[in-house]
Structure 1
Amino acid sequence: MRSDDRAVTGDRNYSEETTDMALTPTGPGLDREVCSRWRLTPGRVLGDRATGTWEATRDGAAFVVKYFDSARFPDWRYTLRVAAALRAQGWPTPEPVEEPLIGPGGAWVLFHRLPGRSVRPADGDKPAEERSRGRLLAEFHRAATATGIVDQRGGFSGPAELVADPGLDHWLRIHELARPDEGRILRACRDAALEWFTDNVIVDAPRSVIHGDFTPWNLLYDDGRLTGVVDFEATHYTFQVADFALSWRGYHDNVLRGYDEVRPLSDLEWQLVRPVFWAWLFIGVKDLLAAHYGCTDPVGPIPKLEWQIVHVRKHSDLLSEKAGAPRLPVHE
């Protein structure tokens, strides 16, 4: 879990990388020199970022180009290693085609384009999709454990360390002066997570590398068959239930039900889901607030942490049954 950012494969030897480049994204288009080096015809931007991931073609074949900004995505080689280890077990993950191109600010990586499309279920089909995705996530974690990867990704930390950061507490208190209602809820959330981890210093719950964004748009299917698990930008080593942060999102209970059908969660893990989820909501918050309030003459409007507030207020009947109702002033 990164403290300074909101969060593909390769079994090649990456020791012979190009390091004499000054390539950085300059806009929504794919860098011309990157296209020239790899003989690519650029396509559209993929995902919701202005820069970062593009489609491209070469000799009629489809590819995906990703730019890993060193500041936003530290230790990007870790993402390649995790996905490669999963691919070795049969999981369909994008495979690098060329050696990465390294610039002063980050790295460009060219991947084969995987077949299939993400599934966006209609409202009536969402419960079944969520349950199926929860079951798939449990299988994914089984494979993640089998990779044997237990080292932490550079730039990432555990949820307990994130909420214990005194810098986060400081800037939340400053923010509460500017936005009292929002700040009060967020501080209560942070304090509750910190209290849980303080009372449970040693948490004996399953850990492994996690995907970090196991959502419908990162799973590709072709005629009902899984053909791609993409976007490992948030992968790191932590509690397996941390993967619920963006797959469950505080209220998609069928994800939890499906997972529990394949790998039953222990009582401790049910208790752990909520504090880990709360910690996830603070990824990037300290730096966001510090960038505004830490300036002598702040520029722009006061940050609004609406995404965090919305998700703190999400209610889960299943988790309330398994772990008790949250004790936060979220409905006042």
Structure 2
Amino acid sequence: MTAPDPAICARWRLVPGALLGARSTHTWAVTRDGRPHILQRLDQPDWRYPLRVAAALREQGWPTPEPAEEPWATPGGVWLLTHRLPGRPVVTGGPDTLAQQRHRGRLLAELHAALAATGITRQRDGFREPAGLLGDPELERTLTAYERLHPDDGRLLLAAREATLAWFAANPAGAAPRGVLHGDFTPWNLLFEDGRLTGVLDFEASHRNFLVADFALAWRGYQDAVISGYHEVRPLSDLERRLITPVYRAWLFLGVAGADPATLDLRWNVAHLRRSTP
């Protein structure tokens, strides 16, 4: 899908622009009456959950995307129109500088405090904590079928699942802090203008988990300064530090269970499994 549904554009009087992203959620730049907006087609489970999280943060003064219309549910997915926030990402791909990573870690710790203050405690439908995700028999069946098609990558994925599941069995983590996460606290999801934070974007993976699970993509296995900056605001316990790598590895299996092995492309997941550990 390279262009939004014409019926959507007609309903909301939109002039479609560039496709901004299509990895999981299709996102377009659009205008209405000359004003910039963002149009998205959502198909994630419990899609109202991230909207509630973003709204609760906005009530505390965090700059999150504000809907310009009520979401419109169609057989092909849910359409969301939001006002476009000002500013630009510091970088749009790859790692930021060490100082920028440290600043992002501090921001993430502050965001976690704000998320705790929202009072949202419910888990999002379709999401589980790492041990439950890894222990799903459907995940093992999917990976076994994937291994038959891609022997080397499939073998690595199955071994990583087994080893990480064994880690959780041997290391009880019940005392580790949990809360609602952003889910993709990467440089390109943070907007700045004149050094001021003007936008926190992309809550589509928001759910409840160990707080250190938010390092899954914020840290990405190699940006240790993010963890250092976070620790400056909210010190991490020894248990949380030990949790970072297994939780990160478990995150790489999100959305895999039950998928069609013939259409799965897990090269990104494999590449990140090979990342260094903190």
TM-score by structure 2 length?
A: 0.93
2:166 match:
195
**Code of the aligned partner of 1:75:** D
Contact 2:93–2:188 (CA under 8 A) maintained in structure 1: no
Alignment counterpart, residue 205 of structure 2, candidates 220, 229, 234: 234
Unaligned runs of 5+ in 1: 1-26, 293-299, 320-332
2:216 pairs with one of 230, 240, 245:
245
Letter in 1 for 2:21: G
Match of 1:310 in 2: 271
Identity %: 57
Unpaired stretches in structure 2, ≥5 consecutive residues: none
Q: Which amino acid is 2:120 matched to?
A: I
1:177 CA drift (Å): 4.4
SS at structure 1 position matched to 2:21:
coil
- Could you tell me which amino acid in structure 2 is paired with residue 309 of structure 1? V
Q: Which residue of 2 aligns with 1:63?
A: 37
| Counterpart contact for 2:40–2:80, Cα < 8 Å | yes
Q: 1:284 to 1:138 in 2, by over 3 A?
A: same
**Alpha-carbon RMSD:** 2.1
SS of 2:17's partner is strand
- Of 216, 229, 233, which residue of structure 2 is paired with 1:258? 229
Q: Which has the larger radius of gyration?
A: 1
8 A Cα contact 1:28 1:51, kept in partner? no
Cα contact 1:121–1:129 (8 A) shared by 2: no
Kindly tell me: are residues 95 and 250 of structure 1, through their superposed partners in 2, closer, same or farther at Cα, counting changes over 3 Å?
A: same
Distance 1:124 1:158 in 2: 27
AA matched with 2:4: L
For each residue in 1:237-267, what CA deviation from the matched residue of structure 2 results, as whole angstroms up to 9, or x when unmatched? 1111111111101111111111111111000
**Paired letter, 1:222:** E
Structural mapping, 1:121-270, within 5 Å = 126-270=97-241
Question: What secondary structure does 1:110 align onto?
Answer: strand
TM-score normalized by the length of structure 1: 0.78
**Does 2:90 correspond to 1:119?**
yes
Q: What is the one-letter code of the residue matched to 2:141?
A: H
Aligned length: 278
CA distance in 1, matches of 2:132, 2:114: 26
